[in-house]
Amino acid sequence: MKVDLHSHSTASDGLHSPAENVKMAKEAGLAAFGVTDHDSVGGIDEALSVAQELGIEVIPGIEMSTVENNQDVHILGYFIQHQNKEFLNTLTELLKVRDHRNEMMVDKLNELGIPITMDEVKGKLRREGANVGRPHIAEVLIEKKIVETMEEAFDIYLGKKGKAYVNPVRIRPEDGIDIILKAGGIPVIAHPGLYDDDEMVVRLIQYGLKGIEAYHPDHDQAGEKKYQEMGDRYNILVTGGSDFHGTRGEITFHAPIGTKTVSYDIVEKMKNLLE
């Protein structure tokens, strides 16, 4: 039985609803999948409800946005108590910083001579109460024919080497781990190969990470092997997932649900850790 532990819905910056994601996961033949929206748990209840109807397991999760050395470091949290009031209050504060960052990026694009407004970006939201993210900015850039694809939008403008990339002061990776643990969840570092900083990864494992995401669309075979071995060396969970953010036309970002999976044994090990 296979599971995809990393996917996004319109509750954060995915392009599909939680219900659509559940249906795609079922069609992909998965036994379970994780709903891990950026700094949001807004899609979990809908996903759980639909999953019950379809006979597939949803793992309530989150992807915390943290920063180290001016680059994003994402910490996944699994089996979080997503209705915990203290946790929800923390997320509200984090989203204020996320909103400020979106505004800063739009301002930077304007400085580069690209006419774009936050109203246009918010117009790309497909769900009331959803959070704005970089993929929504990318959609506007595509619509205005500034770029042709999501990948190009991130490579030229929105990714960490992009012309409009900004990163205001945010929580540290250690803070993200602490928040997840306090919410009763299991912290796992997302796509460590994107950070080019294995010393940091080891430090965070020693700090309290319970897992490492080895299997990800942005990792090559060598990267997957390296992080599988790192997980084994430090006796932590080795996870994987598609990091699905949706499909626009024929372009999928990062990869379709079910593209990167691990065995259901990983879910059982998570549940054992929680006992």
* CATH code for position 28: 3.20.20.140
- 223 within some domain: yes
* pLDDT per residue as tens, the chain (275 positions): 999 999 998 766 666 889 999 999 999 999 999 999 999 999 999 999 999 999 999 999 999 999 998 888 999 999 999 999 999 999 998 888 888 989 999 999 999 999 999 999 998 877 666 778 888 899 899 999 999 988 899 999 999 889 999 988 789 999 999 999 999 999 999 999 999 999 999 999 999 999 999 999 999 999 999 999 999 999 999 999 999 988 766 777 789 999 999 999 999 999 999 98
Tokens coding 178: 């602490």
Count of domains in the chain? 1
Determine the residue type at 11: A
Tell me if 218 is assigned to some domain.
yes
Question: Which residues span the domain enclosing 14?
Answer: 2-96+171-274
Instruction: Using CA atoms of 258, 159, 101, 81 in order, give the dihedral in degrees to the nearest 10.
Output: 20
The whole-angstrom distance between residue 104's C-alpha and the CA centroid of its chain comes to: 21
Tell me the sheet residues that pair with 237.
211
Amino acid (1-letter code) at residue 142: I
The residues, ordered by sequence, that sit 6+ positions from 180 with a Cβ below 8 Å of its Cβ are 62, 64, 75, 77, 80, 186, 187
Whether 129 maps to a domain, the answer reads: no
Question: pTM (2 decimals)?
Answer: 0.87
**Is 124 a member of any domain?**
no
Is 255 part of any domain?
A: yes
| Residue 101: inside a domain | no
Q: Is residue 126 part of a domain?
A: no
**How many Cβ atoms sit within 10 Å of the Cβ of residue 199?**
7
